Amino acid sequence: AQSVTQLGSHVSVSEGALVLLRCNYSSSVPPYLFWYVQYPNQGLQLLLKYTSAATLVKGINGFEAEFKKSETSFHLTKPSAHMSDAAEYFCAVPSTSGGSYIPTFGRGTSLIVHP
């Protein structure tokens, strides 16, 4: 079954600095990859999705992710961090369940933004 690994449970950056959150997928090339964001005590919101149409995917709030097959990676980046970006970020890959795809989530990375 497909899975994703998120390196680093916490990432701390200064406001205005580059944000890099790492995600690596296992085994074969997945048909889709997702990044979700979760603000405190809230559900998950889709940031962006990879569908093999393009390796560089742009999402909401200035985030983007690049699919690199050679590195089995789908890292999330943002050029300049904002205080409001502080949240939990989850990488996800679809797993088949009952004939349909269900997201399987990584362990999450907590983004901390310092003033």
Partner 1 sequence: GAVVSQHPSRVICKSGTSVKIECRSLDFQATTMFWYRQFPKQSLMLMATSNEGSKATYEQGVEKDKFLINHASLTLSTLTVTSAHPEDSSFYICSARVQGAGANVLTFGAGSRLTVL
Residues of this chain that interact with partner 1 (CB under 8 A) are 9, 32, 34, 36, 41-46, 49, 51, 90, 94, 97-98, 100-108, 110
Q: Distance between the two ends of the chain, CA-based, in angstroms?
A: 41
- In the complex, minimum distance from the CB of residue 82 to partner 1, in angstroms, rounded to a whole number: 22
Residues with Cβ < 8 Å from 36, sequence gap 6 or more? 44, 45, 46, 47, 89, 90, 92, 103, 105
Q: Which is nearer to partner 1, 16 or 39 (CB)?
A: 39
In whole angstroms, what is the distance from residue 30 CA to residue 92 CA? 10
Tell me how far the alpha carbon of residue 42 is from its chain's centroid: 17
- In the complex, minimum distance from the CB of residue 96 to partner 1, in angstroms, rounded to a whole number: 10
- In the complex, minimum distance from the CB of residue 80 to partner 1, in angstroms, rounded to a whole number: 27
The amino acid at 44:
L
Q: Which is nearer to partner 1, 10 or 17 (CB)?
A: 10
Q: Which is nearer to partner 1, 40 or 115 (CB)?
A: 40
DSSP 29: P
- In the complex, minimum distance from the CB of residue 31 to partner 1, in angstroms, rounded to a whole number: 8
Asked whether the beta carbons of 25 and 74 are under 8 A apart, the reply is yes
Q: Which is nearer to partner 1, 26 or 80 (CB)?
A: 26
